[in-house]
Every structure is written in structure tokens, then in C-alpha cells.
Structure 1
């Protein structure tokens, strides 16, 4: 499984040096990468269908509990098949859609990176590696959404998506760490045994809140939903892949995966039901006012994600079975409709449904795919969408008796909106008489219309043979979500009952609404008057407020003056250390036990004070630097007097080097110091004296702290045994604190590169101005 995750990452990196080859005849190789991965996971279907999970463990950073742990069960297999299967269609589709594009190779590098990140999310059995791949999906989707980087709207949409999902990732990380620390393990499959311990923990409400924020932001739940419609500025292959079957369902996957770990509580259920329920009806209503095909599909996607969240909140066996089926239902018809939208835009250069009609006469295969997908989205009998809709109604009808009517009514109203939206996106552009404007439109490359046609046909075949789909795919998915056996058996016909009546009423109402209410620009503008109270507007205002606060903070604190930085750092240190000293109470000094001062110590102190006096009074920069070095050398002698020659030599070396560097830096500066006003000098003197007094008090307190040598003894005894080194200090730096030393080395290397680049910088005269 690790190989399948790394395949996309490795290939993505190879597209950087070999991108020119990919732009030519070798581009045909790209779609076969997801094909191979799809066949690999398809080969595991019989194994998973029998209830056997495939587990892979590879040590990565075992000391930190971070390993490559992968687990293939019903839930992860379904998502892996969607990621690679629909990914195959998208790769063939995008190869023709973006043919001749200047950034053709770059697009597929981003797409491969995203595919690998999504596979990593759904396959990870370690919550830390899951988070790493989770963030990688946000980063790669940022590149994909902002692919048309010459468009300001695309850049803005990409930044918005990254901001929302990145913020959610921060909260998710906090929640995952809390879960791992409470349970004592970061292995997801081991967390199932800690359900009772986690839900009874005092931090359980906080964990649920953090986890839900992470999932809601990624899966576009209210009030974080607005980034997804905004992301429609991305090329259509991106929308078809990310916003129908993969990225936006990552949050759904997370909630489904943690349902047996954190679910089955009132807090969990109410949170998901309220947020999901409001999101699904809110987005369904919004989809009715959109005139842009992508806008309709975006809001209907948000609504479908709300349905999945809503069902996970209900949490009954019927609801979890409905989740497992509807994930597949939605992915099939929504990916098809997005690809059809891309074909329409590619051939007619518009997505406005008030202008589009009659396209069936020039795009018959595309129309067939679109029609089948629209029928599945509407839940017409014999389609897979029909079974998915029935299962939703069964879940609401079989929930708590007092809630049945309200939940079912909410589901019916939502589905009516989705029926209408599906017909508008899938049927309206092809019905009616073909305008002269589109007479020149034609059927695109086969690689563009065959993938959506295949997905649409699968939506019909799965509906005709639901038992096969249930036995081999969704049964084990439902079991994984429920954390036990669900005894799921899908059937096309359940007889005449309440569920069938509701499905028929939904379909009839949706069709009636489709014919009765046509969206127009006037209606859309009337709706946009309420944007002032929308969550998007509020988030933008919050962003502006943060920007203003950041500007104020930067101008006041980070004003570019080194002396200002020093002053603030020292003041903060004084406050912190002073507060700590105050908490410790008065300092008791036993003068009898203090070592008497020798004459040479008095002499060194006198020299030090004299150098200090020269520093604060001289107007010569060079004199000030030399006097500073005298203070450093005095400290070297102090180290030598107190039996620390190694520290003395280190101090001597550093002080000498510092002096030389100061002289070189100050070489071109004016030779005299321009003193600031007297008030500033007095202020700095007070701050400096205060710092010196606090440090002296700390030293006196340390003298009377009990001395323990446990740490020193450990390093002394184990330096040679464990690290094979006799120099204890070197062993500590290189072995015991090797990671810390490595990062310090990296910091120094980065600083050196920065200095080198500044030395080599050659500005033009216009740039200097």
C-alpha cells in the first residue's frame, strides 16, 4: 500500500525535470498510473468482502510514535477505488481537456500529488500520518484550484480554500493529539478499544469540537461551505475530481472513521445532525437560484455532503448503510455531471443555463451520459440513486419516533431541491431547440466523453444489480463505519411502502419545480442582497480585522529597528523572570558560606567596570567595540579562575570572532555614534540595570538550590556504552540531542544562504529606488 501512495508522489516529482516529454507523445502514460492503482485495489475486493482487513506496518519515526501504518478495510477500500477509479477517468479526460496548455505537465504533477495525498488519508492507520496526508491534500488542492494563476479570481479562490481547510487542519491536529494521548496510542485500529475511555473523558467535548471543525472545513459544512462554490474557478477536471469524489469527502471519511471511536453519544449525534441538516437544506435551496452550471453542481455537492454528515449524526445501522451507499451514488453521478459541464464549456464557451439548450443534437453521447447521471441524482427507479434515496428515507423513518416526521420532511425537501438541480445541470442544456450560436459546437475527443459515459452507465448497472454492489463493496464499508456487522443486503425492490411513496413524491415535486421555476439573473441578484449576513462576508470581515490588527502589531513591534527588538525582548524577559522570582519568595543569603573574593577577582571586576564605563560614554564606534571585547575577555578569565577552561576557550574564540565581524560590519558606517535624546538613554539604562539585578538574584537563588547529579551521572555512565564516545559533551550534542543539533545546523545553513544571497545581490538602479 505504501508503494501505491508513493507512486503518485514519485511520478509528480519526475514531471519537474521531464515535463517537456509529457507535453508530447508520452502524455498517454499518465492516465495508466491510476489505472494500475485501481486494478491493484480492485484485486483486493474479494479479500475485503470476506471480512479480512489488510494491514501494513513500516517503522518511520518509532520514537515519536509516527510510523507508516496502513489499513485496508471496507471503508478505505471504497474510497481507494473512488480515488483511483474516478481518477482514471479524470486523467484521460484532462489529457484532452488541457491539450496544448502551457502548464500541462505542471497540472498533472499537482493532480498526481493530490491523488497520492488522498490515498494516504484513507489508508493511514496512524493518526499522525493521516494528518500529514490531510494537509498535503490542502496544499495540492491549493495548486489545483489556483491553476489559472493569471486570474485574480482563481488566486483568491485558492487562497480562500487553503485558509479555511488549513485552519481546520490546525484544529484537527489538536484533536488528534488529544485522542492519542488519552488512549496512549496513535494507531487508529487500536483506538476502537478505547471508545468508553474517550467518551467518558472530561476533554471529550473539546475533542469532538476540534475534530468536527477539521471535518466540516474540509467537507464544506455550514458555516465553512462557501469555499467550495468559490473553488469552481478551477479547471473542470479539478472540480470533477476534488469536489465530487475525493477531497470534499475527506471530512466525511474522517467522521465515518471516527464514528466507532467517538460516536454513539448525544453530543456527537446532535452536532452532526444539526450541522449536516442545516447544510443540506441551505445548499439545496441555494442551488435553485444558480444560473452557472458549476454553481448548481457546487451547491448540490455541498447539500449532498450535508446529507452524509446528517446520516452519520443519526448513527443508526440504517443510517450508516445509507452513508456507505450514498458515498458511491454521489461520486458516480456528480463526477459525470462535472465532466459534462466541462465538455459544454469547452465547446460552447459558456456555462450559463439561461443560454444553453438543444446541445443533444450535436453531442448525443454526452447527452446520454448527462441524462443517466441526472436520473440517478433524482433517484429514478432502476438507478443506483433510487436505492440511495430510499435508504436515506429508511434512516429518517426508523430513527426516534418523536423526530421521524421532522427529519423525514427535511430529507424530502432537500432531495426535491437536488432533483431539480440535477435536471437543470444534466438535462436543460440539451433540451429544446439548438440556437444558431451553438451550431458550430461538436462532439469533443472520445477521451473526454467516454469517461463520464462509463460512470453514468455504472450508476444504472449498480442500480439494476444492487446485491452485487452491496456484497462486494458497500457491505464492508457499512461494517467499518458501524464498527460491527450491519447485515446489509441491498435490493432493487422493497414493495409498495412509505419509503416508495416518499421517493415518488420527491421525484414528482422535483420535476414540477424544475418546470415551474426557472433561475434568472434577477433572482440571483435578489438573493445576493443577503450576502451581507452570509458566513463568507463575515469571514472576509474577520480576515480584514486580522489584517488590520497584524498591521498595527507589525508597525509597533516589528518596526525594523534592532534596538527596539532588543528592548522588547529584554523587557519581556525581565517581566517573566521577575514574576517567577516573586512567586519564589524572598531570597535568603548565607554570607558565611560564600567564598571570599580574591585580589585578582577585584582586579578583573575593576577592568570590567572600566570597559563598561567607556562603552556607555564613548562616541567612537570602534572604541565601543574594543571595550566590549575587553568585557568578553574578562569573562574568559573568570571562567579560567573557576576551573572551566573549556568555557573560557569557547568564550575567547567567540569574542574574538565577534569583534572582527563587528569591525568589518561597522567599517563603512560613520565613525561616531549619534546619541539619542537623554530620555531614551535613561530608559535604556534603567532596563539594563533591571536586567542585571534580576540575573544576579537568579544566581544567588541558584546557589542555595539542592545540587543533584542524576543527569550528569547518566550521561557519564552511558556516553561510551550507548554512543561509543568518550567526549561526553560531543556525545550529547551528536547522539542524545542529535535531532536538536540537526535543526540547529539547518538554521545556520539557511542563515548562511541568506547572507550569501545578500552579498551576491546586484540591484538595478530602478530597484534601488
Structure 2
């Protein structure tokens, strides 16, 4: 068991290790490096395959290491049917993507950097889906956003790529903050910080008064990550990334992270009215919007991107629908979609790589030039269209079996599914047939079959979609049934086969195909119609994002001009006003004023002398006629206070005060040598009174705070601790020194660093030599070492 735990941890770290080695491997091995680097995800894939029998028999696999035991934080993983399926998709498709990237990016000067980013993303996504700890889940969630930002903006010299990367980061980053708040709600509502324990809380979450707040926050994270309406706009724009990124992040992995989260939470948060209203509604709107927008496109990648958005909407709709077979339909469609959409994206990249264009209206007749690519595209399209023998057919039949009921709600969502599936049928075959059939069209490059590295991935994925349907019993045994059981929260048996059964689901499938064929034959007219509709609607959320960012910048500039006007006087004034309010408001509002102390009767003459000296120093500061006198007077007051500390037994504090006062006087004097020391600041009476009120308020606030503190019972716990353990732990007899050097060593190091940085800054100021004299002002008059020539 310990060996398997260690091996699982190694497999989770393996993509990150491969990412570190990727640039140097590409530089040394060249073309062969892709095969070597692909061994990392392939090894992880084989390792996760070994868990299939145990998970298929209803077991779960947990493991990990304690991180911060006192806070119940751990680096732990949880493998059941849901997380294991995702892990196999991520590592399996990831292996093919690394190989595909080797062919697609061949000769690119930044190929090593690109594959490094792909592997980093792979490790982040793998960690996300197997995470058991809430903290681990959030860390990996944010890491997927960061790595996808790097991949989308890979071609950073193009403005469109930079904009798309920033847009994806902003949207998913804000969603990540929403997710974090939702996880904190779950923690407080249930008292657990692990997903494996969360699935055992029964109805605790559903019955909580904070259920709706937690649900909305978690949906914020899931909807932004999985591009649900109205947060969908970042996904099509992310097609600015190279095609391997689109095939991996935006069809098979990252965009399904939100769906994964919803499926994971379904057993403990599903089944409520809010769940069964919000998820189907937003999922259905996303499904229809995605397919309609896909019809509008002519770019192969954008056509597939919008259908990916639509498919994610379908998955969300099914996850929240609430009928027994909806979960089975969702898990079947998720796996089928990962296979056929990953294959079609790779096909789009192959066509672009070999012909020089992705515009479907400028392609045709490539069947003879790219026969393997055409075969892979056709198999993937057949699965996407939901035709018999393919895994997509099983998913579509199960979708209609789950949705088709007699109530109005079911009828409405069944119609949504028919329209959505029919239009995805159109796009699937438009991508698979139009570039390859018909008369040969002249393309920017002379097309020919791509290299093995590029057609191997789509061929295998499309073939798996076929064999997944033909061998449905094995697929259900090891994939569908364990996954559906995990999502449903109870044992669920998936039994659908590729043999058509006469009934409503088959009839609806036939209607879907007929509708798809009809629209496919009229695709050009449908595209023109959508162009006119979208032109009439005007700008959408994508343009709204630009307006939002521009408005945010304008507001930031306006706020900055108010709170950062560039005048030190304003900063200091605001700081001390807030300090005074912080010190004075709570005692008066909450009645925590201290009792007035009794005037001491046993103070000796020499002690009174230093008290009087401190007061004299204060008066001297206020009455000083020039700045140098004020600095010296301030030092006299500080030294008097240091002597008072010494007389009352605080020798260590006294010596510290002596050091601070000495340094303060020296540093201030050195700085003031850059200024005219003779004049005194002349302020109007109103300004003088305002500053006096602020100063007195701060002094009074500190006085009240100190008096209240000394009147409270003294807690000796820390004193006893330090007295007991200073000698034993730190081997020091001087308790104060031990506290400063050992128990608070990091704090002391920070103080030393601050003093050092301040000293360096002061030294830099002293050594500055102004090139031109500055005009003298009433506040600061600078003497320039550069003398003006006589006129």
C-alpha cells in the first residue's frame, strides 16, 4: 500500500518533472524528444489503469500526506469512478497531445517552451481531478488558470493572443475566487475539508440556511471555468492558442473542470429546487447559444469551439436535470465528447498545418491528399452526430431516455436537446466532410497527409469512440457504471447497448438526425441567416468585457488621483486620521474607557526631573525656530523617556530606545542636510489647529489604550512559557535575548531587514546630486550642488 501511495504521488508530480526537462530535451533530442516526453503522461496513464478493477468493483482509493495537521490540511487524493475517468482522459489524451505537439510545432523556435506549458497544465489538471483536500483542489484549480493563460498567450507577439489570454485569466480567475469562498462555506457548514468526507454528510448541506449562498458561489467557479452563459465568450477567443492547446484544454480537459466540480457535488448538493432550476436553465441556454453561434462560423476551430461550449451546456443541463438516467447520460456524453472533439480539433489543426487555411469555405477535395485524416474526421463526426455503433450514439439515446417525459419541463428541455444535438450534427459533419469532399480547391499550401505524430492522435481517439460503443459492456463495466455511481452518490448500473431499441429515444434520435441533415444541406443559408441575426443583436458579452475592463481602468485612474495625489503631506494626514479613529472610536462606542489612574505619590526627585525634561523637550520641539533645533529637541525628549525606562527597571527597553533615538536623530540630521535647516514651517492658523487636533487625538488614543491595557489582569502564560523553555529549547539563560533571537527570530530578521533597507535608502538620498537647481518652495527648499554661472 505504501509503495502504491508513493507511486501515485510520483505520477502526480511526473508531468511537472517532464515540464522542467522539456526545453532541454527538445534542444538535445530534436524530433525524437516528443516520444521521450510523452512517456511521462503515458506512464501515469498506465498507473491509473491499474485502479480500474478495484474502482469497477465499487471501491475507492485514497492516499496522501499530512501537510498542516493542526489545521487538518493535507496533500491527499481521492479516486473513484469520476476522478479516475478524468485522470485517464487527462493522461491518455495528454500523451497523444504531446506527440501531436511534436509534429505541429516542429521547427518552431519555442517548441520546448510550448511543450513545457502543456505538461505544466497537464499536471495541474490531473491534480485538480484527483484532489481530496479543499485547499489542494483550489491550488490546482488556480494553477490550471495560470497555465492556460500561458498557453493561450503563447504567441505573445500578437495582440489578439494577449487579449484572449488576459480575458481567460480574468474570467476564470474571478471564478476561482468565487470557488474559494464557496469551499470556505462548505468547510464551515460541514466541518470537513476533504471531498471523500463531504460525500458522507447526507443532507447537512441541503438543509443549511447557507445552502443557496454556497451554491451560487460554487456555480460562479464552475460556470466561469466551463464557459457557461454569460461567461462563455472567453472560450472561443481562446482559439488564438495553437491547435494542440485547443484540442487538449478546450475540448477534453480544462473546460470540463467546472462540470467535474458539479458532478462531484451532485450527491450532496443536488436534488434541490435551486439545483434543478439553475443548472438546466443555464446549461440549456448555453447549449442553444453555442450551436447557433457555431453555425455562424467558417473557421474550423471556431466552429468546434462553439460546439464545445454547447456540449458543456448539455453536460451542465443533464447534471442538474434530476431524473435517474440524466446522470448516466451525462457521464456517457462526457467521455464520448472528449474522444470525438479531441480528434476533430486535431483534424482541424492537421488541415490548417498541411493546407495553410482553416476557412471551410476555402477548402475542398482533400480526401485523396489526406486519406487518414479524412477517415479519422469521419469516424469522429459519426460519434458526434450520435449514429449507431459509436459511443456518441449511446450518449444521445440515454439523453433522450432521461429527458423524454410527459411534463412541460421535460418537453421543453427535450426540444432544447433535439435542436442542440441536431446543430452539433451539422457542425461535426461540416468539419469532417466539407474540407475533404467535393471539387479540389486551391489552398495556400500543397496539401498532403501529415506526419505520424499528427494523425496518430485523431485516429486513435476516433477509433476509441467506435470501440467504446461496440464494446459497450466493457465500457460500462470499467468506465460508465463506476462514474455514474460516483456522480449519483449511489450504485448505478448503466446497461444501454448499440442495438437500437424501438421507442421514444430512438424516434427522437431519428428526428435529430433528420433535422441535422436538413440544416447541413442548407448550411450556407443558415450561416447567412445567423450573420444577419447577430448583426441585428449587436455587441455581446465579448464586447461587454472590453467595456468592463476599460471602465475599470478609468475608475482606477480616478480613484488613484484621489488617494494617490503625490503629496506626502496628504498621505501622512490621512494615515494619522485613520489611526486616531481606530484608537478612539471603539472605546467610546463600546464603553471600554479606562479608569483614570491615581497620581503617584512615591515618585523620587530625580525621576520627576526626567519627566520634566521630557516635557521640556516636547515644548522645545513645538517652539523650535528652525528644523535643526526641532531635531535636537526631539532627541532630548526621546533620551529622557529612555532614562525613565531605565529607572523603572526596563533596562533592555531603555537601551533599545537609546539606539532608536540616536539613529533617528542622525538619520534625520543627514536627510535635513539636503534642505535648508534655518527656516521654520509657517502654517495658517486653520491648518495649525487641524494638525493639532489630529496629533492630540493620536496621543490621547495611545494613552487610553495603554491605560486600559495596564488595568487588565496580567496574563502570565507567555512569561511562564518563556521562563520554562528558554533554557531547555534555546539553551539561553537571558530570556529576553532568547525571545528576540530564537522564538521571534524571523520577526527580528525582518526588523533588521527594514532598518537595512531604510539605511540604504537614506544613503542613496544623501548621495544624490541634482543636475539642475529646483525652485524653492515654502515647504522644502533644495540646495543644488550645481552653481549657476554668473550673469
Q: Given the two structures, how large is their TM-score scaled by the length of structure 1?
A: 0.92
Gap change, CA 1:654 and 1:750, over 3 Å in 2: closer
What do the CA deviations read for 1:513-533 (whole angstroms, capped 9, x no partner)?
A: 011131688656534435656
Q: Does 1:171 align with 2:171?
A: no
Show the 5 A alignment for 1:630-649.
Answer: 630-649=636-655
For residues 709 and 95 of structure 1, the distance between their equivalents in structure 2, rounded to whole angstroms, comes to 67
For residues 758 and 320 of structure 2, the distance between their equivalents in structure 1, rounded to whole angstroms, comes to 51
Gap change, CA 1:360 and 1:567, over 3 Å in 2: same
- The answer for the alignment partner of 1:98 in structure 2 is 105
For residues 743 and 537 of structure 2, the distance between their equivalents in structure 1, rounded to whole angstroms, comes to 57
Match of 1:544 among 540, 547, 550: 550
Show the 5 A alignment for 1:715-754.
Answer: 716-717=723-724
What do the CA deviations read for 1:709-736 (whole angstroms, capped 9, x no partner)?
A: 3454455456667777666556667777
- The answer for the alignment partner of 1:468 in structure 2 is 474
- What is the CA distance between 1:586 and its match in structure 2? 7.7
Match of 2:227 among 203, 220, 237: 220
Match of 2:540 among 534, 542, 551: 534
Q: Does 1:403 align with 2:409?
A: yes
- The answer for the alignment partner of 2:353 in structure 1 is 346
For residues 705 and 131 of structure 1, the distance between their equivalents in structure 2, rounded to whole angstroms, comes to 42
Gap change, CA 1:719 and 1:252, over 3 Å in 2: farther
SS of residue paired to 1:67: strand
What do the CA deviations read for 1:423-454 (whole angstroms, capped 9, x no partner)?
A: 22222221211123357222221211121111
For residues 735 and 366 of structure 1, the distance between their equivalents in structure 2, rounded to whole angstroms, comes to 67
Q: Does 1:66 align with 2:73?
A: yes
SS of residue paired to 1:429: coil
- The answer for the alignment partner of 1:445 in structure 2 is 451
Gap change, CA 1:746 and 1:693, over 3 Å in 2: closer
What do the CA deviations read for 1:306-365 (whole angstroms, capped 9, x no partner)?
A: 111111101333111111111110000111111111111212222212222222121111
SS of residue paired to 1:56: strand
Q: Does 1:229 align with 2:223?
A: no
- Contact preservation (8 Å) 1:291, 1:520: no
Q: Does 1:570 align with 2:576?
A: yes
Show the 5 A alignment for 1:100-249.
Answer: 100-249=107-256
- The answer for the alignment partner of 2:14 in structure 1 is 7
For residues 613 and 441 of structure 1, the distance between their equivalents in structure 2, rounded to whole angstroms, comes to 91
What do the CA deviations read for 1:279-319 (whole angstroms, capped 9, x no partner)?
A: 11121111111121111111100110011111110133311
- What is the CA distance between 1:250 and its match in structure 2? 0.6
Q: Does 1:582 align with 2:581?
A: no
Gap change, CA 1:330 and 1:157, over 3 Å in 2: same
Q: Does 1:360 align with 2:371?
A: no
- The answer for the alignment partner of 1:424 in structure 2 is 430
Gap change, CA 1:342 and 1:578, over 3 Å in 2: same
Q: Does 1:689 align with 2:696?
A: yes
- What is the CA distance between 1:268 and its match in structure 2? 1.8
What do the CA deviations read for 1:205-249 (whole angstroms, capped 9, x no partner)?
A: 111111110111101011111110111101110010000111000
- Contact preservation (8 Å) 2:625, 2:679: yes
Q: Does 1:273 align with 2:280?
A: yes
Match of 2:523 among 513, 517, 536: 517
- Contact preservation (8 Å) 2:363, 2:443: no
- The answer for the alignment partner of 2:786 in structure 1 is none
For residues 427 and 642 of structure 1, the distance between their equivalents in structure 2, rounded to whole angstroms, comes to 93
- Contact preservation (8 Å) 2:340, 2:381: yes
- Contact preservation (8 Å) 2:296, 2:531: no
What do the CA deviations read for 1:379-436 (whole angstroms, capped 9, x no partner)?
A: 01111111111111111125x8342211211111111111112122222221211123
- Contact preservation (8 Å) 1:15, 1:22: no
Tell me which structure has the larger Cα radius of gyration. 2
Show the 5 A alignment for 1:375-394.
Answer: 375-394=382-401
- The answer for the alignment partner of 1:316 in structure 2 is 323
- Contact preservation (8 Å) 1:19, 1:106: no
For residues 19 and 149 of structure 1, the distance between their equivalents in structure 2, rounded to whole angstroms, comes to 21
SS of residue paired to 1:245: coil
Match of 1:507 among 495, 513, 517: 513
Match of 1:28 among 26, 35, 38: 35
What do the CA deviations read for 1:555-597 (whole angstroms, capped 9, x no partner)?
A: 2112343333222221112222222022133846455475665
SS of residue paired to 2:75: strand
Moved more, 642-651 or 199-208: 642-651
- Contact preservation (8 Å) 1:22, 1:105: no
For residues 445 and 179 of structure 1, the distance between their equivalents in structure 2, rounded to whole angstroms, comes to 49
- The answer for the alignment partner of 1:629 in structure 2 is 635
- What is the CA distance between 1:600 and its match in structure 2? 3.8
For residues 749 and 484 of structure 1, the distance between their equivalents in structure 2, rounded to whole angstroms, comes to 62
- What is the CA distance between 1:376 and its match in structure 2? 0.8
For residues 327 and 749 of structure 1, the distance between their equivalents in structure 2, rounded to whole angstroms, comes to 58
SS of residue paired to 1:196: coil
Moved more, 541-550 or 309-318: 541-550
- Contact preservation (8 Å) 2:611, 2:644: no
- Contact preservation (8 Å) 1:114, 1:137: yes
Moved more, 527-536 or 198-207: 527-536
For residues 45 and 621 of structure 2, the distance between their equivalents in structure 1, rounded to whole angstroms, comes to 73
For residues 633 and 222 of structure 1, the distance between their equivalents in structure 2, rounded to whole angstroms, comes to 68
For residues 682 and 417 of structure 1, the distance between their equivalents in structure 2, rounded to whole angstroms, comes to 75
- The answer for the alignment partner of 1:653 in structure 2 is 659
Match of 1:43 among 50, 53, 68: 50
SS of residue paired to 1:153: helix
For residues 194 and 753 of structure 1, the distance between their equivalents in structure 2, rounded to whole angstroms, comes to 57
For residues 362 and 576 of structure 1, the distance between their equivalents in structure 2, rounded to whole angstroms, comes to 77
For residues 767 and 359 of structure 2, the distance between their equivalents in structure 1, rounded to whole angstroms, comes to 53
Q: Does 1:335 align with 2:333?
A: no
For residues 424 and 749 of structure 1, the distance between their equivalents in structure 2, rounded to whole angstroms, comes to 68
SS of residue paired to 2:78: strand
What do the CA deviations read for 1:23-80 (whole angstroms, capped 9, x no partner)?
A: 5654432122111111111222222212222211211222222211112211111101
Q: Given the two structures, how large is their TM-score scaled by the length of structure 2?
A: 0.89
- The answer for the alignment partner of 2:491 in structure 1 is 485
Gap change, CA 1:693 and 1:531, over 3 Å in 2: farther
Q: Does 1:603 align with 2:609?
A: yes
Gap change, CA 1:623 and 1:149, over 3 Å in 2: farther
The count of corresponding residues between Structure 1 and Structure 2 is 764
Gap change, CA 1:744 and 1:74, over 3 Å in 2: farther
Q: Does 1:301 align with 2:315?
A: no
Moved more, 420-429 or 619-628: 619-628
- Contact preservation (8 Å) 1:629, 1:656: yes
Gap change, CA 1:460 and 1:628, over 3 Å in 2: same
- Contact preservation (8 Å) 1:195, 1:262: no
